Amino acid sequence: MKHLFDLTGKVAVITGGTGVLGSELSLGLARAGAKVAVLGRDQARRDAVVEAIRQAGGEALGVYCDVLDQASLLTAREEVLNQFGTVDILINGAGGNQRAATTSPTLSFFDLGEEALDNVVRLNFMGTLLPTQVFGEIFAQKKQGVILNVSSMAALRPLTNVIGYGAAKAAINNLTQWLAVHFNKHYSPQIRVNAMAPGFFLTEQNRFLLTDEQTGELTARGRTILEHTPMGRFGEPADLVGTVIWLVSDASAFVTGIVVPVDGGFSAFAGV
């Protein structure tokens, strides 16, 4: 059983690897034996994640990368290949939301700015597509590899307020299925593409929706979410690691084209 989930000798690239969730996933991949390339724009954060992995006995490389800039992605790919020789796993973890693209009592749907909405949709959708083009080319050439996209509960069930974010994540679900078929049909049945849809975690992108900035108390939205989450709590970043290891390891060798909720039962609960 340990062999099924073992990533020893594998090279994993993770975009958004310095965020609240991404840093935990980077550490989890390293603990499972993978060499981890942590991609992100903030050097201090990259260095902190890489140091944490090395302190735990793992091997990691921090690489500057803007997921919306193909030249930056190509440079990052070259740096990873120079250091590790290949790539076996790609996790598309970069994404996020903006307050200016989110409806609220002080910002109506009719007043949402085009630029803010475009930024959110582009970051989440194109920020998944472009890295897949650049790093997926390695998989097409070697006829083997695993891609894991990070979707959201907002993709499975339309949630109030987060219009651009939800639409972009829904597009990622469609893209995941399309890529799974495309890679199998045109390149190799040994290339798999899946996604996971986290439920509600306190991250930089949604903290302003779930907790009050001044008091730290739950907002009305935060309370409603917990009331509709059978397990009665927000997720912890570590709650995602097991699902990720399963989806990128040989334990899921016959699994492709799916979206796995990790949500404490939120998507199963109708509210009554």
Residue 145 falls in which region: left (phi positive, over 0), alpha (psi -120 to 50) or beta: left
What does the block give as tokens for 232?
Answer: 């009665």
Selected catalytic residue, list 165, 183, 187, 200: 165
What does the block give as tokens for 207?
Answer: 């903290």
The helix/strand count (H/E) of the chain reads as 11, 7
Q: What is the DSSP string of 52-82?
A: HHHHTT-EEEEEE--TT-HHHHHHHHHHHHH
Long-range Cβ contact pairs of 98-102 (< 8 A, separation 24 or more): 99/208, 101/163, 101/164, 101/165, 102/161, 102/162, 102/163, 102/164, 102/165, 102/209
Other CB atoms within 10 A of residue 145 CB: 26
**Best CA proximity match to 62, nearest among 78, 75, 74, 80:** 80
Annotation says 187 is catalytic: no
Which residues does the annotation mark as catalytic? 165
